[in-house]
Amino acid sequence: MAIDTVQALSRVPLLSGLDPKELERLAGSFTERAFPADTVVVKQGDERGIGFFVITEGNARVSVDGRELDVLGPGDHFGEIALIGDRVRTATVTAETDLRTLVTTVWEFRGFVKNDPDVAWKLLEHLVGLLQESQAS
């Protein structure tokens, strides 16, 4: 079954402010990647996370310091911190079932943002909204 990358990206909160043409341009930087069940996709503490993932099929467990925090499924995503900051991975994500994802690298995403100031502004607005929400909690 073919994956509609633009549709999958439109459901990612970080990208929700982008218009369809911007999402279509960004979609070109994503590739499909599959992981068998029980595969560690990203590991907490890895020095440099370089990928951002959108799950299209299957489930994945998110854990921090060995404690399971969440189970992700189709439409969920992980690795967004790696897109913007050179940070260590903050969680481990393990394929619970066979997992299909769309993935892009930090350098692809940065190139996309740097080449379009409108996109950069929309992302900043989204991040400010998240900051305001976290301060209200």
Query: Mean pLDDT per 10-residue run, the chain (137 residues)?
Result: 80 88 94 96 84 94 95 90 76 96 91 91 85 78
pLDDT of residue 35: 97
pLDDT of residue 86: 65
Could you give the angle at the alpha carbon of 94 between the alpha carbons of 54 and 45, nearest 5°?
95
CA distance 51 to 106: 6
Residue whose token pair is 């069940």: 37
pLDDT of residue 75: 87
pLDDT of residue 1: 45
CB-based contact 34:100 (threshold 8 Å): yes
Helix, strand and coil in the chain, % to nearest 5: 35, 30, 35
Name, in order, each residue with C-beta under 8 angstroms of 120's C-beta and a sequence gap of 6 or more: 113, 114
Domains for the chain: give ranges and CATH numbers: 5-136 (2.60.120.10)
Residue whose token pair is 């509609």: 4
Which two structure tokens, joined as six digits, stand for 76? 């969920």
**Inter-axis angle of helices 117-136 and 106-114, to 10 degrees?**
110
